[in-house]
Chains A and B, each alone.
Chain A
Amino acid sequence: MLSEKHNEKEAEGAVRELTYAEALREAMRQAMEKDDSIFLIGEDIGVYGGAFGVTAGLVDEFGPERVRDTPISEAAIAGSCIGAALTGMRPIGEIQFMDFITLSMEQLVLQAAKLRFMFGGKAKVPFVLRTPGGSGTGAAAQHSETLENWFVHVPGLKVVMPSNAYDAKGLLLSAIYDDNPVIFVEHKLLYKTKAHVPEEMYQIPLSQSHVAREGRDLTVVATSVMVQRALQAAEQLSEEGIEIEVVDPRTLSPLDDRPIIESVIKTGKALVVHEAPTTGGYGGEIVARIAASEAFDYLDAPIRRLAGLDIPIPYNRTLEYHTVPQVENIVEEARKLVRGEY
Chain B
Amino acid sequence: MSEAIQSITPDRARELLAAIGHEKAREMLETMYLIRAFEEKAEELYALGKVHGTMHLSIGQEGSATGASNAVRSGYDYLLNHHRGHGHCIAWGGNVNFMMAEFLGKETGYCRGRGGSMHIADVERNNLGANGIVGGGIPIAVGVGLSIHLRQTDQVCLVIFGDGAANEGAFHESLNMASIWNLPIIYMCENNQYAMSMSVKRAFKVEHISERACAYNIPGVTVDGNDLLAVYEAISEAAERARAGEGPTLVESVTYRWRGHSKSDRQLYRTREEVKEWQARDPIPRYANRLIEAGIITQEDVQAIHDEAYQRIEDAVEFAENSPEPDVSTIMDGVYA
- Which residues of A are at the interface with B, using a C-beta cutoff of 8 A? 36, 39, 41, 65-66, 68, 70-71, 73, 75-76, 78-89, 91, 106-107, 110-111, 115-124, 126, 155-156, 158, 178-180, 254
Contacts and interface: CB of A to CB of B under 8 A. Distances in A.
Interface residues of B, number: 46
A90 to B, nearest CB: 10
Interface of B: 78, 80, 109-115, 119, 121, 123-124, 126, 128-129, 131-133, 136, 138-148, 150-151, 157, 169-170, 173-174, 176-177, 180, 333-337
A89 to B, nearest CB: 5
Contacts of A65: 150
Contacts of A87: 78, 126, 128, 143-144, 147-148, 151
Nearest to A83: B143
B119 to A, nearest CB: 4
In the A-B complex, the 4 residue pairs with the closest CB atoms: A83-B143, A79-B139, A121-B334, A120-B112
Given A84-B147, A118-B115, A122-B111, A79 B141 contact: yes
A71 B78 CA distance: 24
Given A83-B141, A117-B334, A119-B123, A76 B177 contact: yes
Given A76-B173, A116-B337, A122 B140 contact: no
A120 B333 CA distance: 8
* Most chain A beta-carbon neighbours within 10 Å: one of B78, B131, B140: B140
A107 B126 CA distance: 19
Contact of A76 (B115, B142, B147, B333): B142
Nearest to B172: A73
* Most chain B beta-carbon neighbours within 10 Å: one of A71, A79, A84, A179: A79
Nearest to B121: A119
A71 B139 CA distance: 13
A79 B112 CA distance: 25
A106 B136 contact: yes
B144 A83 contact: yes
Contacts of A121: 112, 333-334, 337
Contact of A89 (B131, B147, B334): B147
* Most chain A beta-carbon neighbours within 10 Å: one of B111, B123, B139, B141: B139
Contact of B143 (A36, A81, A119, A178): A81
